[in-house]
Chains A and B, each alone.
Chain A
Amino acid sequence: MIPYPFTYHRPASLKNAEALLASLPDAKLLAGGHTLIPAMKLRLANPAALIDIARLPELSFIHKEGDRMLIGAATTHAEVASSDVVRSAIPALARLAEVIGDPAVRHMGTLGGSIANNDPAADYPAGLLALATTVHTTRRQIAVDDFFTGMFSTALEEGEIVTQVEIPLPKRASYAKFANPASRYALVGVFVADTAGGIRVAVTGAASCVFRATEMEVALGHTFTPDAITPVCISPEGLNSDLHGSAEYRAHLITVIARRAVAAALDDPR
């Protein structure tokens, strides 16, 4: 499969990338490309220009600074999954990165690309939403609660580039995922985090956009055990219904998977 023609650009700095993005008509950023390139091959996406930011060193890093973790937008899933810093400070995030796609996909796919795309069944949106992340861009800082706005939609404006995410270290956290057996995308994925601001539970795969299960958060705030959320009834209203599963099935699955996530968070070694 061959996409429509386009021009490829690889700027040497973030500043140059911003300038190109502003000047080239109908340009798109290319990070790992593992969503964009398949879409271009199917001719569902047809950008006139691609600006490759995957290899910008200023976007590829993992730092722990005090009680927060900073991860550059072009850091690959494989780098997050294998990072000793992430594995010791937020092991749940390393495990999340490890269950995205397959090893070859994880070598190319990037954190910034995943959240800017905001696929309804992607893993990172659940992790970052539950971890009360701040998304840094070339223009501002965006609280994660304001970042994911809908299906494949975010608060990012034209020409704005995600540069890094800032994650306050949770007391404990866990991600549990029921992967679609064919695509390995989350049919339902639940990230549970015990943060400074309270318990946060984020659900991906079940609706048109990642969302917080606030009733579960309240229940877990009282007692952090799997049984605490058993009585919480997730309404199928607004959930996805497709050939992979009905809304009722997904609603049920959210509770099952959330219980697994809480059980695993209790085993979080720290």
Chain B
Amino acid sequence: MRDLHITVNGQEHRAEIEDRTLLVYFLRENLGLTGTHIGCDTSQCGACTVLLDGRAVKSCTVFAAQADDAEVVTIEGFGRDGALHPVQKAFREHHALQCGFCTPGMIITAVDLIRRKPKLDRNAIRAELEGNLCRCTGYHNIVNAVEAAAKANTEPSS
């Protein structure tokens, strides 16, 4: 067992956990943040993607202990107080979700992507989303949403 000190969505937490606890289980079971989904549990599908110190990672393949003294943002950390994050807004406007299971991971991957590469074309977006699978195969509208969000991000808001 170990004492974990972690900041999640801006809030500090201290918890006693087993060393082998995976970050995704800590988020879901200890903190009740079930927006982070477990899809494949083999680091392929990306449904469990969260930001760890600002970078998108697959939380099924990170031990919570590796995130000791680190900062994590989950989907619950976006769109506070009823206002959607611009990427969330773009997903809604472009109907970029069907069943919604992959959506939290898709949005976090998109946020990370737009931070790293503000100028994106559709091919680049598709290549960058290769670690996030949508079993509804709704990729077309997801790409539309990410493209729109990236564009809105580089244009000065009116």
Are the C-beta atoms of B20 and A105 separated by less than 8 Å? no
A108-B42 contact in complex given A2-B20, A3-B20, A33-B63, C-beta closer than 8 Å: no
Are the C-beta atoms of B2 and A8 separated by less than 8 Å? yes
> B112: CB under 8 A from chain A?
yes
CA distance A139 to B56 in the complex (A): 34
> B93: CB under 8 A from chain A?
no
CA distance A184 to B25 in the complex (A): 27
> B65: CB under 8 A from chain A?
yes
> A88: CB under 8 A from chain B?
no
A103-B109 contact in complex given A5-B19, A52-B66, C-beta closer than 8 Å: yes
Partner of B46, one of A3, A34, A52, A104: A104
> B71: CB under 8 A from chain A?
no
Are the C-beta atoms of A78 and B55 separated by less than 8 Å? yes
CA distance A251 to B152 in the complex (A): 48
Are the C-beta atoms of B66 and A54 separated by less than 8 Å? yes
A10-B68 contact in complex given A2-B22, A38-B43, A41-B41, C-beta closer than 8 Å: yes
Are the C-beta atoms of A103 and B113 separated by less than 8 Å? yes
Are the C-beta atoms of A103 and B63 separated by less than 8 Å? no
A102-B20 contact in complex given A1-B41, A78-B55, C-beta closer than 8 Å: no
CA distance A54 to B68 in the complex (A): 13
Across-interface contacts of B19 in A (CB, < 8 A): 5-8, 50
> B35: CB under 8 A from chain A?
no
The chain B residue sitting closest to A76, CB to CB, is B55
Are the C-beta atoms of A102 and B55 separated by less than 8 Å? no
The chain B residue sitting closest to A40, CB to CB, is B20
Q: Would you give the shortest CB distance from A122 to chain B, in whole angstroms?
A: 15
Are the C-beta atoms of B56 and A103 separated by less than 8 Å? yes
Question: Which of A8, A54, A104: most chain B CB closer than 10 A?
Answer: A104
CA distance A7 to B41 in the complex (A): 22
Question: Which of A2, A6, A108: most chain B CB closer than 10 A?
Answer: A108
CA distance A54 to B29 in the complex (A): 26
Across-interface contacts of A4 in B (CB, < 8 A): 20
Question: Which of A10, A54, A102: most chain B CB closer than 10 A?
Answer: A102
> B144: CB under 8 A from chain A?
no
> A252: CB under 8 A from chain B?
no
* Interface positions of B (Cβ within 8 A of A): 2, 18-20, 22, 25, 41-43, 46, 49, 52, 55-58, 61-63, 65-66, 68, 109, 112-113, 116, 128, 130-132
Given contacts A6-B20, A104-B43, 18 further A-B contacts (CB under 8 A): A1-B41, A2-B20, A5-B18, A8-B19, A10-B65, A33-B62, A37-B43, A38-B43, A38-B61, A82-B116, A102-B131, A103-B56, A103-B128, A104-B57, A105-B131, A107-B52, A107-B56, A107-B57
9 inter-chain pairs at a CB distance below 8 angstroms, sorted by A residue, are A1-B41, A5-B20, A6-B19, A41-B41, A52-B65, A54-B66, A104-B57, A107-B57, A108-B62
